Structure formats: structure tokens, C-alpha cells
Amino acid sequence: MSKVTTLNEFIMDRQADFPGASGELSRILNDIAVASKIVSRDVRKAGLVDHILGSQGETNIQGEEQQKLDVVADNQFIKAFENGGEICGIASEENDDFIAFTSEHAKKAKYVVLFDPLDGSSNIDVNVSIGSIFSIYHRISEPGTLATLEDMLQIGNEQIAAGYVLYGSSTMLVYTTGRGVNGFTLDPSIGEFCLSHANMQMPETGRLYAMNEGNIAICEKGIQEYIAYCQSSENDKGAPYSGRYIGSLVADFHRNLIKGGIYIYPATDSSPEGKLRLLYECNPLALIAEQAGGLATTGRERILNIEPTQLHQRVPFFVGSKNMVEKAISLLQK
């Protein structure tokens, strides 16, 4: 039988690669793993528990209806970060403003986390995969004080670590600390994430494209041309690509990471900035994509170079296999 490496062991081994590392980042990653196991358990019960499934009857700052599980997951992650003691503040899709933790211990902490506790949550009621996404930064403000908005509004390039959890046919945690990308599958029989996808590499090219094509008529011409290219027999593969759109960013991204492909959420007439949020959806996936050899762009600018101005800022998002993203950029810039 081959040796199983648990996430815990893997994190500890990696910590040894950084002489002088104090273990704070390792503890944050462990806190995320524990919180996501609890969220995974709740997601798995979604169809069974009436009081979890369905709408909470409230809307978040983006005017979207919050699902109960969104709130459950949000609270779970916040609790983990607040109790863990390594985080001085958080920002999440489900909270209008960032939260600065007020305990003396938390004020001394060096890190902030931005996250989407449950992305694609409109898919919960129909039993389709959903995910959590996270992004970790060093704070900019002085330790010992309250976290500030400036701590949250950093460029993606400054991320210390980023990752996602996919609640799919199995639960997987994929993360990077800037030294490659590794994926862990939750073994429910032992309750541990086990290394299943070491050193993940996104294929340079692929034949899968993911976009909400219902928006095609309200996209700019370059997007329409790129989708026509994907569907043409005259493209680089000499045959139409396959369209695959789950409408769950983490699931669409994960499939493309493994099989090769491109995910596009462009600016449209109705959402001129795009739909997806820079800080806790695009930046973390952009870091993972680049670490795996892929690319992430707005079509005009590298995602990881964008100076954020708002917590819930939206950007057009193209992410995936290098050659496919480059082709999309070339048509957009034509």
C-alpha cells in the first residue's frame, strides 16, 4: 500500500522548507481545513435538513439572495479565523464591510484573510457542486492595532497563500503558497484531507470552454469572436471545442485546471465590470492558475497586478490554460 500523506503532514513538511517560519501560516491553513470539513458536512446534509436548505430571506450587499448555507459557511470560517488567533481581520463576500477582530491576541496577528465562504450557492438547491475560496495576505498596518481597509485592498501579487475547497462528488482542498499547487481529497472515513494531486499543472492548451453563453449578444465583439473561434472547425484543434459551464466558478476552474480549458466571465452590457469579485474570487484563482502554469487576465490586464479600490470590486475574468487565454486576449485587443 502506498503511503498516505495527510494535509497536516504536508503542511508541516513544507514549513520545514522555510527556516525561521513561525508556523502561523501553517496554523491558518489548518484552521481553513477544519472549517471546510464542517462546511462540507453541512453541504452534504443540505437536502436533508429543511432549516439549512433554502433562502435566508435576506440579501447581501450585491443584492443577491443569501442562502442559509452561505451564512452557515461564513460564520464557520469567521469563527475559525477569530479563534485561531493568527488573523487580525477578514473580508468576505457575505459581509458588507471587513471585520477587524478586537481581541488583544488578534490585534497582534500578522495576517488577513479574504474569502468567499460558499461560491455558486445558487446551485445548492439543485445538488450541483459549490466551493469556498480564500486568499491570505500579510497585514500592512502595525501589529497591535486593529486591521484596516488598506490591509484588505492589496494587489493579488502580494498574496501569501490562496486556495479553494470544492464540494463536488468528493470534497477537495487545493492550495498554493507560491511554490506550486497541491490538491487534497477528503477521505470521509478518517476525516482527513489526503494528498491526491501533487504539483498540479494546468495543461498549456485544452478543448473545453466555460462561459454563460446566454450573455453572448451583450458582450463585446472580441468575446463573440473568441467563442466563434472555440466553436469553429478552423481553430487550432481543427474541430469545435466542447462547451462546459457549471455556473459554479470553483467547479469550472477545477475541471479546467485538470483537463485544460478556459473560463470566461466578461464585461457585459448589464454588468459592465463583469460579475466576479476581484479580491476573494479572481485573485486567489489567478494565483493558483499562474502557479500551475496557466494565466488569468481581465482581457487587458493581468489580474494579479490590479490595484483594488473597493472590497467588493468586480472585474472581467479570463482564466485557464495559457494558450487559450492568450488567444482570447489577442482577439480582444485586435
Binding site for Mg ion (CB under 5 A): 116, 119
First to last CA, the chain: 54
Q: Which residues contact 91 (CB under 8 A, 6 or more apart)?
A: 97, 98, 99, 112, 114, 115, 152, 279, 280, 311
Taking Cα atoms as reference points, which of 148, 120, 149, 144 lies closest to residue 132? 120
The minimum distance between CB 64 and ligand AHM, in angstroms, equals 5
Q: Which stretch binds ligand AHM (CB under 6 A): 7-15, 81-89, 116-124, 183-191?
A: 116-124
Residue 16 vs 217, nearer CB to ligand AHM: 217
In the shown chain, the binding pattern of residues 126 to 165 toward ligand AHM, with x for contact by CB under 6 A and - for none, equals ----------------------------------------
Select from ligand AHM, Mg ion, none the partner in contact with residue 192, using the beta carbon and a kind-dependent cut-off of 5 to 8 Å: none
Among 89, 120, 203, 316, binds ligand AHM (CB under 6 A): 120
- Determine the Cα–Cα distance for residues 299 and 199; give it in Å rounded to an integer: 27
C-alpha dist (Å) from residue 273 to 22, 237, 263, 278, 333: 40, 31, 16, 10, 17
Does residue 42 belong to the site contacting ligand AHM (CB under 6 A)? Answer: no
Does residue 64 belong to the site contacting ligand AHM (CB under 6 A)? Answer: yes
Q: What are phi and psi of 18, to 5 degrees?
A: -110, 90
Does residue 212 belong to the site contacting ligand AHM (CB under 6 A)? Answer: yes
Q: Are 211 and 245 in contact (CB under 8 A)?
A: yes
Taking Cα atoms as reference points, which of 82, 79, 105, 85 lies closest to residue 27? 85
Residues 223-262 that bind ligand AHM (CB under 6 A): 247-249
Residue 247 vs 293, nearer CB to ligand AHM: 247
Select from Mg ion, ligand AHM, none the partner in contact with residue 42, using the beta carbon and a kind-dependent cut-off of 5 to 8 Å: none
Q: Residue numbers of the site for ligand AHM (CB under 6 A)?
A: 64, 93, 116, 119-121, 212, 247-249, 275
